[in-house]
Structure 1
Amino acid sequence: MYDFQPDPGLDTAERHRQLFEAADALTSGEPDPVANMANVAALIWEFVPDLNWAGFYRMGDNADGAPELVLGPFVGRPACIRIPVGAGVCGAAAQSGETQLVEDVHAFPGHIACDAASRSEVVVPVVRKGEVIAVIDLDSASPSRFTEGDARGLEKLARLLSDRI
C-alpha cells in the first residue's frame, strides 16, 4: 500500500521535490500510460494544496483528424472532454509547447471555463521527441495560487513523465 502524506508545512521547492520522488517511484517500470497518469494526478492532488482540479489532457485527433486535447486521468469535478489546440489555457500550452502560468483565468483570452469556480491555473506541456503528447493541468479556486516554483516543479515532473505516459 502506498501512503503519501506530505507535511502541510513544506515549502514549495521541497513539496515538488517529494512529489517528483513519489511520481518516479510509482511510475518507474510501469508501461501503462493511463495507470501512470492516474497515479500522478492523485499524487499531485495530495502534494499540491488549494486545488480544485489536477490532471492530464492527452493529444488526440478530432473527427476531422485535426489535433486536439482529450481528457485524461484527473482528480476533481467533471471536466471538458475535448479542447482544440490553441483554445484556452490548455490549448495554448499544447500549441506553444510552453508552460502557461495564469493568475486570473478570467483575464486569459479565450479561457474555457470547465469549472466556474476556477480562478487560477498552471498548465505544463509534456514533450516527447520535440512533440507535445499531453499537458498537466492544475486549477485553483484561489486567484494567483500558482508560482514560478510550482511551474518549475511541474516542468521537471513533465520531463520525467515524457517517456512514461
Structure 2
Amino acid sequence: MSEKSAFYQSLTAQALALCEGEPNRIAKLANLSALLNLALDDINWVGFYLREQDVLVLGPFQGKPACVRIPVGKGVCGTAVASGRVQRVANVHEFAGHIACDGASNSEIVLPLGEGEDIWAVLDIDSPRFDRFDDEDEAGLAQLVSAVLPLL
C-alpha cells in the first residue's frame, strides 16, 4: 500500500467517525469540508454544492466566498452531475465553460454524491497548483465519498 493510499484510508476513517451518530446532513457536510481542508495539501477551496432540480446551490465549504448557483451541465461541477462521473481537471483554464469563482484556482476535482438522476450533491476541491490531483487522489476521494454516502 502506498503512503497516499494509507493517508486516504485514515482520512476515510476520520470522515466516518465525524458522520456516525449525527442526523443532520448539513452538519456532517460542514465537518467533512473542514476535515478535508485541514488534511489536504495545496488546496484553496473545498466544499459541497447541493442539487436543487437543475441547479447546484452552494453548501458547506472552506475557502473564499464562492459562486452560489451553478446550472447542471455547466462548469466542472455541473458537468460532474450531468455526466455522473468524477471530473478531474489538470488545468481549469483549458476546461470549456469553466466557471472561475477564484482566479487562483488552477486545477480541480469534483465527485458526484449519488448516482444517475439521484445525484444530490457534489464534492468540489480546487487547488492553486496545476495537475494537483492524480489517480491516487481520485481513488482515495472516491473511496471516502463511497464510505460516507450511506451516512449522509
TM-score by length of 2: 0.94
1:58 alignment partner in structure 2: 50
The reply on whether 1:135 has 2:122 as its aligned counterpart is: yes
Which residue of the other structure, out of 46, 69, 73, is the alignment partner of 1:86?
73
Contact 1:90 1:123 survives alignment (8 Å): yes
1:150 is matched by which residue type in structure 2?
Answer: D
Which residue of the other structure, out of 70, 85, 104, is the alignment partner of 2:91?
104
Aligned residues: 151
Cα shift at 1:129: 8.1
Contact 2:75 2:98 survives alignment (8 Å): yes
2:26 alignment partner in structure 1: 34
Cα shift at 1:38: 0.4
Identity %: 45
2:142 alignment partner in structure 1: 155
Cα shift at 1:11: 3.0
Contact 1:15 1:47 survives alignment (8 Å): no
Q: Structure 2 unaligned runs (5+)?
A: none
2:6 alignment partner in structure 1: 14
Q: Structure 1 unaligned runs (5+)?
A: 1-9, 62-66
Contact 1:128 1:162 survives alignment (8 Å): no
1:77 is matched by which residue type in structure 2?
Answer: K
User: How far apart, CA to CA, are the structure 2 residues paired with 1:41 and 1:24?
Assistant: 13
User: How far apart, CA to CA, are the structure 1 residues paired with 2:115 and 2:55?
Assistant: 17
Please give the per-residue CA displacement for 1:61-80, whole angstroms capped at 9, x wherever unaligned.
4xxxxx11010100000000
Cα shift at 1:15: 1.7
User: How far apart, CA to CA, are the structure 1 residues paired with 2:147 and 2:69?
Assistant: 25
The answer to which structure has the higher helix fraction is: 2
User: How far apart, CA to CA, are the structure 2 residues paired with 1:163 and 1:23?
Assistant: 12
Cα shift at 1:98: 0.2
Please give the per-residue CA displacement for 1:83-130, whole angstroms capped at 9, x wherever unaligned.
000000000001111000100000001000000000000000011686
The reply on whether 1:44 has 2:36 as its aligned counterpart is: yes
User: How far apart, CA to CA, are the structure 2 residues paired with 1:129 and 1:121?
Assistant: 22
1:147 is matched by which residue type in structure 2?
Answer: D
User: How far apart, CA to CA, are the structure 2 residues paired with 1:103 and 1:150?
Assistant: 12
Q: Return structure 1 stretches of 4+ with deviation > 3 angstroms.
A: none
Contact 2:84 2:116 survives alignment (8 Å): no
User: How far apart, CA to CA, are the structure 2 residues paired with 1:91 and 1:11?
Assistant: 32
TM-score by length of 1: 0.87
